[in-house]
């Protein structure tokens, strides 16, 4: 029996070109940005739209991987020959200096390529460049021999970092230089000092910052001061369109050697409820395929896809979204109804007036002011702050992936099983 987890991978970043679907425009934009000397790259978009998978394709492209460059409409003017290094941020990286230190000491970062070894570091204050490090000079992959200094040298972290990347560039290990991919960059709490860093590195050192944001300024607070360095490198990643989602179905079925297939109604349903978020497409497809194969069924129909969503909610297969949904809803049938009514609206910015009329009719509420109270709750930290006010009478979901999940998830409560309609 084929394993559906080989075809549909919601829990895994897609790093293989033959499993990567769509994003033709973004791939070409990345190629153009890599072809430009002296510029940096920003890849941004909502959660669950596939930014990390796109970043993995960028790293392959930077090494002139044939299966990736073959998808480009226009080939680069100069052969891609970068040394890619990668860092995935976590909550322990609170400042830019923390990021640089991790890059210098991580095996997926620069550690094995630079002629330095960090033996200790010390934070001396809360200002830019406040971390000093002690280093030993040793030969990394860029040197044929190991050289140890008689004494450790203490120096400013930024100086060490700039010297380190320059030493890699000077080694000629890659003719186009280095691309430093920093994934989940939005998790770095204090990003001050980033602009000066981007200006300081040479033309053969590119940063590619990947993170959750609706615009560049959310990732780079000082973006105006580095606008020149970001020219041509700002790449938004929107939800997938229908053709791109079809590619996920087609590739998945091919990997499973057509042991199962999704009929047209099932495809249309999954495409609709996922709202263009490949994570949700993969999750529903995986759950549907497992049930189908265990039942010796080779065609997944509409009702199978609908049942998969119920199973996802019941088993908590999307734990972050499920926990946030339950926090937003609490024990209130009314609040859940309001949440789902707003999630059903495809517009990013949602005008309250027509939705309030619909909600009032559904719930039999005479005073629409009551609905406003519940909207205030959904916009509060107590209930997850899942919605935010844009301007008078307009709201939007903070996370488009959660919006898709809230719209597609089967209702948790009814008017009879709500314990406390707050």
Buried b (16+ CB within 10 A) or exposed e, 104-127: beeeebbbebbbbbbeebeeeeee
Instruction: Answer yes or no: are the C-beta atoms of 99 and 91 closer than 8 Å.
Output: no
Predicted confidence (pLDDT) at residue 224 exceeds the cutoff of 80:
no
Tens digits of per-residue pLDDT, 234-289?
999 999 999 999 999 999 999 999 889 999 999 999 999 999 999 999 999 999 99
Q: From CA 336, how far away is CA 369, in angstroms rounded?
A: 17
pLDDT value of position 129: 43
Instruction: Kindly report the average pLDDT of the chain as a whole number.
Output: 87
Q: For CA atoms 183, 185, 188, 191, give the dihedral sign.
A: positive
pLDDT value of position 63: 95
pLDDT value of position 223: 64
Q: Which residues pair with 95 in a beta bridge?
A: 190
pLDDT value of position 138: 53
Would you place residue 320 in the very low, low, confident or very high pLDDT band (cuts 50, 70, 90)?
Answer: confident
Q: Name all contacts of 222-227 with Cβ < 8 Å and 24+ positions apart.
A: 222/192, 222/194, 222/195, 223/195, 225/195, 225/199, 226/40, 226/194, 226/195, 226/198, 226/199
Provide the greatest CA pair distance for the chain: 82
Predicted confidence (pLDDT) at residue 85 exceeds the cutoff of 90:
yes
Q: From CA 266, how far away is CA 302, in angstroms rounded?
A: 4
Tens digits of per-residue pLDDT, 103-154?
988 888 888 888 777 766 666 554 444 566 666 555 555 544 444 444 445 5
- DSSP conformation class of 55: H
Tens digits of per-residue pLDDT, 143-181?
444 444 444 455 678 888 998 899 899 988 999 999 999
pTM: predicted TM-score of the whole model, two decimal places? 0.84
pLDDT value of position 125: 53
Tens digits of per-residue pLDDT, 346-395?
888 999 999 999 999 999 988 899 999 999 999 999 999 999 999 999 99
Q: Which phi and psi angles does 7 have, rounded to 5°?
A: -100, -35
User: Per-residue DSSP letters for 66-135?
Assistant: HHHHTT-SS--SS---EEEEEEE--TT--BHHHHHHHHHH-TTTTGGGSSEEEEEEEE--SSTT-EEEEE
Q: Which residues pair with 120 in a beta bridge?
A: 134
Joined together, the tokens standing for residue 71 give 């998808």
pLDDT value of position 156: 78
Grouping H, G, I as helix, E, B as strand and the rest as coil, residue 208 is strand
Q: From CA 373, how far away is CA 266, in angstroms rounded?
A: 38
pLDDT value of position 51: 95
pLDDT value of position 48: 87
pLDDT value of position 157: 83
């Amino acid at each position: 029996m084929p394993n559906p987890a080989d075809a549909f991978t919601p829990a895994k970043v897609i790093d293989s070109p033959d499993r990567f679907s769509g994003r033709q425009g973004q791939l070409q934009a990345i190629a153009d940005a890599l072809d430009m000397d002296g510029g940096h790259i920003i890849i941004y978009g909502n959660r669950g739209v596939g930014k990390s998978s796109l970043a993995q394709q960028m790293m392959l492209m930077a090494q002139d991987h044939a299966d990736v460059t073959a998808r480009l409409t226009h080939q680069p003017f100069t052969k891609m020959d970068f040394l890619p290094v990668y860092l995935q941020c976590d909550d322990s990286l609170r400042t830019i200096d923390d990021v640089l230190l991790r890059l210098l000491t991580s095996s997926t970062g620069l550690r094995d390529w630079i002629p330095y070894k960090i033996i200790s570091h010390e934070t001396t204050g809360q200002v830019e460049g406040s971390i000093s490090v002690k280093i030993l000079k040793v030969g990394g992959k860029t040197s044929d021999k190991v050289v140890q200094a008689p004494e450790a040298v203490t120096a400013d972290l930024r100086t060490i970092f700039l010297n380190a990347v320059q030493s890699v560039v000077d080694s000629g290990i890659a003719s186009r230089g280095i691309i430093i991919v920093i994934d989940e960059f939005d998790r770095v709490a204090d990003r001050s000092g980033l602009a000066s860093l981007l200006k300081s590195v040479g033309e053969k050192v590119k940063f590619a910052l990947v993170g959750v944001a609706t615009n560049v300024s959310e990732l780079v607070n000082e973006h105006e001061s580095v606008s020149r360095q970001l020219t041509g490198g700002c790449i938004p990643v929107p939800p997938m369109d229908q053709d791109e989602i079809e590619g996920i179905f087609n590739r998945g079925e091919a990997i499973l050697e057509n042991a199962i297939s999704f009929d047209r109604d099932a495809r249309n349903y999954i495409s609709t409820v996922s709202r263009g978020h490949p994570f949700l497409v993969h999750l529903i497809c995986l759950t549907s395929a497992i049930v189908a194969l265990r039942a010796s069924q080779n065609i997944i129909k509409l009702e199978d896809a609908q049942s998969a969503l119920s199973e996802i909610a019941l088993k908590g297969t999307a734990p972050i979204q499920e926990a946030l949904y339950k926090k937003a809803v609490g024990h209130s049938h009314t609040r859940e109804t309001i949440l789902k009514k707003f999630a059903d609206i495809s517009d990013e910015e949602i005008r309250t007036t027509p939705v309030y009329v619909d909600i009032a009719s559904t719930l039999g509420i005479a005073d629409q002011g009551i609905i406003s109270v519940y909207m205030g709750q959904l916009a509060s930290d107590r209930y997850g702050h899942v919605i935010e006010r844009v301007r008078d009478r307009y709201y939007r979901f903070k996370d488009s992936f959660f919006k898709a999940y809230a719209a597609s998830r089967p209702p948790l409560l009814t008017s009879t099983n709500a314990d406390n309609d707050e």
